[in-house]
């Protein structure tokens, strides 16, 4: 335990700031870009629970882009006919200031269609997550795709909650897939605004999200919260992994209320992996205090995705053997020990960058835990770090702990002669190193593997 604590302390200074996007670098208010929109479609091209979607071309400062114009089907309450547009503008100004890869961009507002300003955002050819997954149903790596999109979703929600924003309407329809294949959250805050200020959508569009509602909202009328977002997120994972709606056997709100009273979960495991199903059950706990945070679930999803990617490289997608299993256990331990240092940013790295980062974490754990003379495995990992370098890491190691450099090459040659391993022991790490830097695996095997 002492050595693990030491490693964690070392890594506190290894990784530079993740650069989490700020909400304070944009001017307040959502711009009216009505005059910059042209070629608006004559009729809606799509329909949401409480909106009609038109397309148009936005002539922005950086060029022309195709946009979606979301026209809200809302009739303000008589006493608040002027208040609803003001509330909408104020709430949308929060969305406009949020910048994150998993948050859909709000370009501005459009006046002139409908009783309240329409929302303008980039058009997504890939549509929402349900449509996207249906089109990729024959993908041989569909589970890996679902896992990556799930990571996108929960990382976006983690960002919102970290900026004191409750989404309030998490469901598949509100997860759009960008042209780069990245899942992005949209429409947060809209359902609450419409429920509070519109007489036409309270029991139609907004109430239509009942299947994703947490029981404390559906049964007791409590306000949306971080915890209710987590319930809805569990329901969304059921959509993603099982391709069915939550509570898909219930045909009306009465049946749904009976299910809530009986503490019936919104779905079943079906073909969902055991770990994902366990997390869905955690999110959909009827005890609000037992639901995990977005940060906790993001860590679990991102770790699993990283480990799956590394496993494919190390095992070549074949049945795992003992040396491969041992290496993967070490990878998992090194990542978990440094989970607070950029884990949710780790899964988005390109293959070579991710492999390099994983090897560095392994090597640093070996160095931080080293007591006495290094073992053959320690020396191989230090050799890897010497050749890959520390990258963008900022090191502040305890006294007596040193990082090897490429200048020590002759030093590592003597290690290779004195401490060699069987080729089968070196191959899993060599495959990982090869992913990080093509050609380096051959040098590793020559340096450390005994030829038989």
Kindly report, residue by residue over 128-170, the tens digit of the pLDDT.
999 999 999 999 999 999 999 999 999 999 999 999 999 999 9
Per-residue model confidence as pLDDT tens digits over 385-417: 888 876 665 555 555 556 655 555 444 444 444
Which of 20-24, 113-117, 225-229 shows the lowest per-residue confidence on average (mean pLDDT)?
20-24
Regarding whether 143 and 95 lie in a shared domain, the answer is: yes
Residue 295: inside a domain: no
Domain that holds residue 209: 34-286
The predicted model scores a pTM of 0.83
Q: Check whether 114 has a pLDDT greater than 80.
A: no
pLDDT for the residue numbered 77 = 56
Q: Check whether 418 has a pLDDT greater than 70.
A: no
- Tell me the pLDDT band of 15, cut-offs 50, 70 and 90: very low
Q: Check whether 21 has a pLDDT greater than 80.
A: no
- Domain at 151, CATH number: 1.10.510.10
Q: Check whether 100 has a pLDDT greater than 90.
A: yes
Regarding whether 130 and 64 lie in a shared domain, the answer is: yes
Regarding whether 53 and 10 lie in a shared domain, the answer is: no
Count of C-beta atoms within a 10 Å radius of residue 338:
23
- 419 versus 83: the higher-pLDDT residue is 83
Mean of per-residue pLDDT scores for the chain: 82
Please indicate if the annotation marks 8 as binding a ligand.
no
| Domain end call among 268, 286, 304 | 286
pLDDT for the residue numbered 186 = 92
| Domain end call among 265, 286, 307 | 286
Regarding whether 265 and 327 lie in a shared domain, the answer is: no
Q: What is the mean pLDDT of residues 24-40?
A: 75
High-pLDDT (> 90) share of the chain, %: 54
- 344 versus 358: the higher-pLDDT residue is 358
Task: Write a three-state SS string for the chain.
Answer: CHHHHHHHHHHCCCCCCCCCCCCCCCCCCCCECHHHEECCCCCCCEECCCEEEEEEEEEECCEEEEEEEEEECCCECHHHCCHHHHHHHHHHHHHHHCCCCCECCCCEEECCCCCCCEEEEECCCCCEHHHHHHHCCCCCCHHHHHHHHHHHHHHHHHHHHHCCCCCCCCCHHHEEECCCCCEEECCCCHHHHHHHHECCCCCCCCHHHHHHCCHHHHCCCCCCCHHHHHHHHHHHHHHHHHCCCCCCCCCCHHHHHHHHHCCCCCCCCCCCCHHHHHHHHHHCCCCHHHCCCHHHHHHHHHHHHHHHHHHHHHHCCCCCCHHHHHHHHHHHHHHHHCCCCCHHHHCCCCHHHHHHHHHHHHHHHHHHCCCCCCCHHHHHHHHHHHHHCCCCCCCCCCCCCCCCCHHHHHHHHHHHHHCCECHHHHHHHHHHHHHHCCCHHHHHHHHHECCC
Regarding whether 216 and 106 lie in a shared domain, the answer is: yes
Regarding whether 334 and 185 lie in a shared domain, the answer is: no
Residue 401: inside a domain: yes
Residue 99: inside a domain: yes
How many structural domains does the chain have?
A: 2
């Amino acid at each position: 335990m002492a050595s693990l604590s030491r490693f964690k302390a070392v890594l506190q200074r290894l990784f530079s700031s993740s650069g989490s996007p700020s909400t304070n670098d944009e001017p307040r208010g959502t711009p009216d870009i009505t005059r910059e929109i042209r070629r608006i479609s004559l009729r809606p091209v799509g329909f949401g629970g409480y909106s009609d979607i038109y397309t148009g071309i936005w002539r922005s400062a950086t060029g022309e882009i195709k946009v979606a114009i979301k026209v809200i089907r809302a009739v303000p309450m008589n006493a608040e006919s002027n208040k609803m547009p003001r509330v909408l503008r104020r709430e949308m100004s929060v969305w406009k200031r949020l910048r994150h890869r998993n948050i859909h961009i709000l370009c501005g507002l459009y006046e002139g269609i409908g009783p309240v300003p329409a929302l303008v955002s980039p058009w997504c050819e890939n549509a929402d997550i349900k449509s996207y997954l249906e089109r990729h149903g024959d993908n041989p790596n569909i589970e890996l795709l679902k896992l990556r999109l799930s990571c996108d979703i929960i990382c976006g929600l983690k960002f919102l909650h970290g900026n004191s924003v409750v989404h309030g309407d998490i469901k598949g329809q509100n997860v759009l897939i960008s042209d780069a294949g990245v899942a992005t959250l949209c429409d947060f805050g809209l359902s609450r605004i419409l429920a509070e200020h519109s007489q036409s959508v309270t029991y139609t569009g907004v109430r239509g999200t009942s299947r994703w509602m947490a029981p404390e909202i559906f049964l007791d009328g409590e306000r949306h919260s971080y915890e209710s977002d987590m319930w809805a997120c569990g329901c969304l994972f059921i959509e993603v992994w099982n391709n069915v709606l939550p509570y898909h056997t219930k045909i009306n709100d009465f049946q749904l209320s009976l299910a809530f009273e009986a503490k019936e979960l919104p779905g079943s495991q079906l073909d969902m992996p055991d770990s994902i199903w366990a997390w869905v059950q955690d999110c959909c706990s009827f005890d609000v205090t037992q639901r995990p945070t977005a940060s906790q679930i993001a860590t679990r999803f991102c770790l699993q995705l990283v480990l799956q990617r590394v496993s494919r490289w190390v095992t070549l997608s074949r049945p795992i053997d003992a040396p491969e299993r041992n290496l993967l256990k070490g990878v998992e331990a090194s990542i978990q020990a440094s989970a607070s240092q950029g884990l949710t940013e780790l899964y988005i790295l390109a293959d070579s960058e991710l492999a390099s980062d994983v090897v560095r974490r392994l090597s640093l754990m070996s160095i931080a835990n080293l007591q006495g003379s290094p073992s053959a495995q320690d020396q191989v990992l230090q050799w890897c770090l010497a050749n890959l370098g520390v990258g963008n890491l900022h090191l502040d190691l305890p006294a007596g702990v040193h990082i090897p450099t490429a200048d020590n090459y002759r030093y590592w040659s003597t290690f290779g002669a004195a401490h060699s391993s069987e080729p089968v022991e070196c191959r899993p790490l060599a495959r990982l190193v090869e992913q990080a830097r093509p050609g380096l695996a051959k040098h590793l095997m020559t340096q450390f593997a005994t030829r038989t």
